[in-house]
Structure 1
Amino acid sequence: MRRPRLALVPGEPAGVGPELCVRALQRRWDAEITVIGDRTVLQQAAARLALPLPLPPCGDDSVAGEGSAAVDGLPIGFIDRPNTVGVDPGSPNPRNASAVVEALLSAAQGCIDGRFDGMVTGPVHKATINAGGIAYTGTTELLAGHAGCEVVMMLANDVARVALATTHLPLREVPGRITPAVLARTLRIVDSALRRDFGIAAPVIAVLGLNPHAGEDGLLGQEELETIGPSLERLRAEGLQLVGPLPADTAFLPRKLEGFDAVLAMYHDQGLPVLKYSGFERAVNLTLGLPYPRVAVDHGTALDIAGTGQADPSSLFAAIETCARLAARGRPRRGEAS
């Protein structure tokens, strides 16, 4: 069976993504990598790092494993998506926003077409993309719209897997978005992904409450009694193994996490600070529910150190490793010949 083919997108060209990708290309992976981005930006990043850039020569776009160049016997492909203007590390330019989004969508379409088995993405700069005239709340939402499916954001490391009922919202909007329909959709997607992608036969999912102390029997809020609790009861009747609603301040105790395969947080900053504190360098961002694996780094563009060579590539390395494992597991179910 051949190695899975992964698309690797650096993300914001003025951030640390290009130099992280250069570092990733110095290693042999259990996957065939095709980079989708701006060749000049990658060449400049490689020069600053004093590292070789093992990409195919200039010319036609190539996908790894389809007649592309090989580095140490491992195929590496490249698809050029040039920026509109030159790049100054640390200073994003809205005029390059369309190239960033086009690279992401090229990778996504390649996954849907079967040219890639999964995609790995570097960090993007949301404000710059919006300043470029593109309405953009996040790559998770972009890929969901492109694929026409409902998705769930999950962040994971060696300690925990944390999924989100809501993602990039102002905190004041969160309570109104926690509905029975949202909880049912989210938990079904998480349960299915844990079974299918992670090979967990009977996953146990911990569900956090929205309010302090999970509402404390209604004293600190009604959402647990009126919405979250009844929703979990209905889903348990379908066969989902759900624990909660649990107080968020104690659900992440190590002895409790040992009994959970994943945790569902109600909003972005309820669960993710704990996960990042427990192992930021190895954390990755997964988009569950897509017809292909997508794994991203769990950090931002780090504009303050872009171009200095100081960026830690651990999260990108973990993202590639994770995506390769998920893609290898998922290929047979998509009907692809080995």
Structure 2
Amino acid sequence: MMTKQPLLITTGEPAGIGMDVVLLLAAEGKLQDSSRPIWVLAENEAMQARADELIAAGVLTESPTWQTVAAPIDIAEFAQQMSSLSIDDKSEGTGGNSSENHSQESHNNAFTLLEVNCGAPVVAGRIDINNAIMVARQLEVAHQLAANNIVAAIVTGPLQKSALIDANIKLLDGTMFSGHTEFFMQQSGCDKVVMMLANQAMKVALVTTHLALKDVPAAITQDSVRQTVQIVVDEMRSNFGIDAPRILVCGLNPHAGEGGHLGMEEIEIINPVLQEFIAAGVDISEAMPADTLFTSRHLESCDAVIAMYHDQGLPVLKSHGFGDTVNLTLGLPYIRTSVDHGTALDLAGKGGASATSLYQALVMANEMADKALT
């Protein structure tokens, strides 16, 4: 039987809880639930130090074991190496709290660590912008591995956007680093991708993502609304198996513009596009007031909600399942899911972090990857 392609986890900001939640799932044996190999991007020394801190905090009883491989520079060479050699042959070191771990068989290791070295020593809970290059490098490697079909999906841990901005890390177009979504969109050469967050209560997609509120109205164009709706419809069909998705759409303004008295965007921009989809047979609403759309009466009869901006839709969604929510990027040429939480610097290395969101992100990535094989 052919081994399934791995799921790749980026641990993100090393001072945050990205490594903590990986170690927690590894200790619980949950990384193996997908029946796929798990690859993790991090620094080996920092991962071992974090495991030791969690043991000292009483969160772990012992360190999980892992195999360490240098993160690839030449992707084609790396792919050939990983397919032709055993994990033990490739290993450059093994994590865990015993030197005997190196002799263990690969299936006893919780994951394979693809090592990306930090620029400065990692202190849990303390941001050091000298490590920003390492965080960006994780994302570059993840994109290359996914774009070259070496991994089945990317599952991203939390990063600290302010640290990357302060370190002058730029996106491909030269603008400041604004988030995972924009990074993977530009790296993939996509004109438009859609951020969607999903939990048991609802799925919410966004027309705009990480913009200052004052910049949102100008970003609500017919093209941006049209592209968002089309991507959501397509991916609800392909990734979620819903052939005829029922979609509700928030207006931009209070009361969806109140017939033009509180804004004209619904009349001039949003509804004309939605009418195009309605005429084409898509089960989609016209712009609705957000304060009434997000009620059980409406949500129970829809498969997805499209909100106009970040804090219109996500606070409601997270209030119904923070910690159980998965962040998806729709419209990429590969699968990307993510945790729904931040770096939680105050919890790093101390215990108290929940690995539930990472687990749900892995489950969803695995399900979507399996569906892509059918």
Do Structure 1 and Structure 2 share a fold, with TM-score over 0.5? Answer: yes
Measured in 2, the distance between the counterparts of 1:57 and 1:16 equals 20
Alignment partner of 1:68 out of 65, 87, 91: 87
Measured in 1, the distance between the counterparts of 2:209 and 2:148 equals 28
Residue number in structure 2 paired with 1:48: 53
Shift of 1:17: 0.7
Residue number in structure 2 paired with 1:166: 208
Shift in CA distance, 58/235, structure 1 to aligned 2, threshold 3 Å: closer
Paired residues of 1:14 and 1:91 also in contact (CA < 8 A): yes
Measured in 1, the distance between the counterparts of 2:106 and 2:251 equals 50
Shift in CA distance, 305/228, structure 1 to aligned 2, threshold 3 Å: same
Measured in 2, the distance between the counterparts of 1:284 and 1:13 equals 21
Query: 2:115 aligned with 1:90, yes or no?
Result: no
TM normalised by structure 1 equals 0.93
Residue number in structure 2 paired with 1:199: 241
Q: What residue identity is the alignment partner of 1:91?
A: R
Structure in which a larger fraction of residues adopt helix: 2
Shift of 1:246: 0.8
Residue number in structure 1 paired with 2:173: none
Query: 2:49 aligned with 1:38, yes or no?
Result: no
Measured in 1, the distance between the counterparts of 2:17 and 2:335 equals 23
Residue number in structure 2 paired with 1:235: 277
Measured in 1, the distance between the counterparts of 2:313 and 2:47 equals 34
Measured in 2, the distance between the counterparts of 1:2 and 1:233 equals 46
Structure 2: gaps (5+ residues): 56-61, 73-77, 89-104, 171-176
Deviations 1:235-286 (A, max 9, x none): 2233332112111011111121111111000000000000000010200110
Measured in 2, the distance between the counterparts of 1:19 and 1:75 equals 14
Query: 2:180 aligned with 1:139, yes or no?
Result: yes
- Identity %, equivalent residues: 40
Query: 2:45 aligned with 1:22, yes or no?
Result: no
Aligned Cα RMSD in Å? 1.9
Residue number in structure 1 paired with 2:96: none
Alignment partner of 2:165 out of 119, 130, 148: 130
Shift in CA distance, 267/90, structure 1 to aligned 2, threshold 3 Å: same
Shift in CA distance, 58/197, structure 1 to aligned 2, threshold 3 Å: closer
Shift of 1:331: 3.5
Q: What residue identity is the alignment partner of 2:26?
A: L
SS of the counterpart of 1:249?
helix
Shift of 1:75: 7.3
Shift of 1:222: 1.1
Measured in 2, the distance between the counterparts of 1:59 and 1:213 equals 54
Paired residues of 1:32 and 1:74 also in contact (CA < 8 A): no
Query: 2:366 aligned with 1:324, yes or no?
Result: yes
Measured in 1, the distance between the counterparts of 2:130 and 2:163 equals 9
Measured in 2, the distance between the counterparts of 1:196 and 1:116 equals 19
Alignment partner of 2:286 out of 220, 223, 244: 244
Deviations 1:49-68 (A, max 9, x none): 22323211567878887622
Q: What residue identity is the alignment partner of 1:188?
A: Q
Measured in 2, the distance between the counterparts of 1:275 and 1:187 equals 19
Shift of 1:41: 1.2
Measured in 1, the distance between the counterparts of 2:268 and 2:19 equals 47
Q: What residue identity is the alignment partner of 2:46?
A: V
Paired residues of 2:67 and 2:106 also in contact (CA < 8 A): no
Paired residues of 1:4 and 1:324 also in contact (CA < 8 A): no
SS of the counterpart of 1:250?
helix
Shift in CA distance, 38/283, structure 1 to aligned 2, threshold 3 Å: same
Specify the structure having the higher radius of gyration (Cα). Answer: 2
Q: What residue identity is the alignment partner of 2:115?
A: D
Question: Following superposition of structure 1 onto structure 2, how do residues 177-216 of structure 1 map, counting pairs within 5 Å?
Answer: 177-216=219-258
Q: How many equivalent pairs are there?
A: 332
Measured in 2, the distance between the counterparts of 1:314 and 1:157 equals 12
SS of the counterpart of 1:78?
strand
Shift of 1:93: 0.9
Residue number in structure 2 paired with 1:336: none
Q: What residue identity is the alignment partner of 2:67?
A: P
Paired residues of 1:284 and 1:295 also in contact (CA < 8 A): yes
SS of the counterpart of 1:42?
helix
Measured in 2, the distance between the counterparts of 1:178 and 1:24 equals 40
Paired residues of 1:56 and 1:78 also in contact (CA < 8 A): yes
Paired residues of 2:23 and 2:51 also in contact (CA < 8 A): yes
Measured in 2, the distance between the counterparts of 1:14 and 1:75 equals 22
Q: What residue identity is the alignment partner of 1:49?
A: L
Q: What residue identity is the alignment partner of 1:263?
A: V
Q: What residue identity is the alignment partner of 1:233?
A: Q
Q: What residue identity is the alignment partner of 1:12?
A: E
Paired residues of 1:4 and 1:328 also in contact (CA < 8 A): no
Shift of 1:87: 0.8
